[in-house]
């Protein structure tokens, strides 16, 4: 993951995932936020992550924002 070091953060409130894969340590955080681009490849990766989280029983909330 870009910009990530081997040191774990000391807080575990919110993680913003900008990668195409689920972070291996996401379950340590209270909330995970993912921002999805408009390109089909990014949407496909986001759908796969959504299924990954859903299949593991996480409560999911989806917000769709319009173009600015």
Per-residue confidence (pLDDT) for residue 3, from 0 to 100: 53
Environment class of 49 (CB within 10 Å of its CB; exposed 0-12, middle 13-18, buried 19+): buried
Q: Which pLDDT score is estimated for 1?
A: 46
Q: How many residues does the chain have?
A: 68
Instruction: Specify the pLDDT at position 50.
Output: 96
The pTM is what?
Answer: 0.75
DSSP state of 37: -
Give the model's pLDDT for residue 24: 86
Using 70 as the pLDDT threshold, list the residues of the chain that sit under it. 1-10, 67-68
């Amino acid at each position: 993951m870009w910009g990530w070091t081997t040191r774990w953060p000391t807080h575990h409130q919110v993680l913003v995932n900008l990668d195409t894969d689920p972070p291996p340590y996401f379950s340590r955080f209270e909330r995970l936020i993912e921002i999805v681009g408009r390109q089909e490849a990014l949407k496909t990766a986001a759908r796969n992550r959504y299924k990954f989280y859903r299949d593991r029983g996480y409560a999911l909330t989806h917000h769709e924002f319009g173009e600015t």
